[in-house]
Structure 1
């Protein structure tokens, strides 16, 4: 692809971005996929031929840019030339901006620079426009992120901060694990915290945004880490459960009542059970259940024998449903059975420690439980006798 076509493509890309500020998703598409997209929506894409009529277009086949319904597709064949062109114009506009601000500083306030240059406002808009383009093509371009931080720090305009969240939305739509994009979002939230009246609304949207990305990519550590960081900006009802429990134990008047905490823990146990059944063989979910069960037994269950009995029934039902290995060809089912078995053994000890095992001894003798334990976790079968001794059986 010639340089002239690359420049034309860059101009067209920036035109699309400016003409549709509601674009919420970007994808890099193989040329063979454009025809399918166009057939589905019945539209004509941006092609190299429609952008430039030079003879160089003979070397380009297929589609280049696709935009419809606030979605933007860029051909993978155009990425490299677009990146080179975008980097060139960004660095050139940044150089002009630095020269202009340097001359302005040397001349001092109230003096007009002797050398001719475009207005600072125009230069700022140019650099912001080109930095956006380069970041959408290469999200690790640190110079572009840093310039945007610099300019926003000077301007301190709320609307510009909101535009940064939209920009990082776009970046994360194609690169959901971009550390620079997540870091930039945290920087924006820090900058507006305490300066805007609707921070809680922004935090709620941010939490929902992270949730959607995490659902699309379960192993996205950066998304989960971002949500953990976000907790500090959430109201008490969304804080980490240990923090809420601590406030309750310290009799914080702004905290939850015992009944509210009881319901919160039950809801979390129900949610954890759904996740255990949905994502088979995930140890972290079983460890979280240990935390929930331990806290509930210690702080909320001691006053109600009925609640304890119902809790035990539910945990044994969960164990029964998870200890059966449906398909031995998949390690996840074996892992699920193992985690279920070790959890029920751990729970037995916890109940005895808390002196809540009135009915647990009988329930452990339910027909088939020993067999399930041995099948689910044969390497720990010897623990069965110890478990019964712990319960007081002969």
Structure 2
């Protein structure tokens, strides 16, 4: 009887391992086949029943133990059942640990990037996984892979907008791109839009606005002035959010650097423009103070 019980326990554990590995493989297939996923939701099993259980894409699951009651993807939106989260996390962490301990080689790098991506979506505070990705990306400069990395960070920030590890990794990627690309205008515009969208959903998000402040040295003169104009309306609608006011302070200080132009004919015009900018800022602040009495504008 004891031998039968042990055999049954071993068989059950083996089946559980196969289930975890099957679900992880299924999960990583989704991430690979749809790299444009921009939103992840962790749903209660009862919420999952309201989803339309249809197969999307051209891939299929090789594991019959992985029903669609656990994972769902459509229109670049991914839903994960909370019922399977512990097993999925355990499998992702085990797979990542094995790949990180493997010998160097192209196959190891591919496995490491695949497993670390799955793990970080489930647990974005895993600094070791972020560092592993930095190690792989630092070997050879690949702009396409770095853009994919920004996509991954944006995906995680969509449901964890205050995750410091993700913001820090995003800054590392941008710095890496700036070392090989002097024209950062397009990336700065996208980053500014991302922070604005996140700030709309996550109030008083200091980490997001600090990221936006970090971008200022990469901005051109036109972008600094444009950011001041764009943030004016946002401030008027969010006077209780001090983060944006701090951002404007950094922009105004950056505008002073614009004046420090030597041996140029338009230096006087720039000084006049910045002087007028600061004067308008004081007038605008006075208007807000009178309109919202009691607020620390």
Report the CA distance between 1:67 and its aligned residue. Answer: 0.4
Report the CA distance between 1:339 and its aligned residue. Answer: 3.7
- Alignment partner for residue 23 of structure 1, among 37, 41, 44? 37
Larger radius of gyration: 1
Residue deviations 1:174-206, cap 9 Å, x none?
Answer: 111111100001111111114125422111111
Residues 36 and 195 of structure 1, relative CA distance in 2, 3 Å threshold: same
**2:149 counterpart of 1:168:** no
Residue 70 of structure 2 aligns with which residue? 64
RMSD: 3.0
- Residues 244 and 256, structure 1, Cα contact 8 Å, conserved in 2: no
Q: Partner of 1:207: helix, strand, or coil?
A: helix
- Alignment partner for residue 98 of structure 2, among 84, 92, 99? 92
Pairing 1:33-72 to 2, within 5 Å after superposition:
33-38=47-52, 43-44=53-54, 52-53=63-64, 63-72=69-78
**2:254 counterpart of 1:243:** yes
Residues 51 and 151 of structure 1, relative CA distance in 2, 3 Å threshold: closer
Residues 4 and 187 of structure 1, relative CA distance in 2, 3 Å threshold: same
Tell me how far apart the structure 1 counterparts of residues 114 and 29 of structure 2 sit (CA, whole Å).
10
Residue 232 of structure 2 aligns with which residue? none
Q: Partner of 2:54: helix, strand, or coil?
A: coil
Residues 247 and 200 of structure 1, relative CA distance in 2, 3 Å threshold: closer
Report the CA distance between 1:147 and its aligned residue. Answer: 0.8
Report the CA distance between 1:7 and its aligned residue. Answer: 1.4
> Normalised by the size of structure 2, how large is the TM-score?
0.74
Report the CA distance between 1:32 and its aligned residue. Answer: 1.6
Residue deviations 1:43-71, cap 9 Å, x none?
Answer: 4269xxx87445xx8xx9x8211100001
Residue 107 of structure 2 aligns with which residue? 122
More relative contact order, 1 or 2 (CA 8 Å, 6+ apart): 2
- Residues 256 and 274, structure 2, Cα contact 8 Å, conserved in 1: no
Unpaired stretches in structure 1, ≥5 consecutive residues:
102-119, 273-288, 294-314, 323-336, 344-394
- Residues 143 and 177, structure 2, Cα contact 8 Å, conserved in 1: yes
Q: Partner of 1:36: helix, strand, or coil?
A: coil
Tell me how far apart the structure 1 counterparts of residues 93 and 209 of structure 2 sit (CA, whole Å).
32
**2:189 counterpart of 1:196:** no
Tell me how far apart the structure 2 counterparts of residues 249 and 155 of structure 1 sit (CA, whole Å).
37
Unpaired stretches in structure 2, ≥5 consecutive residues:
1-14, 225-250
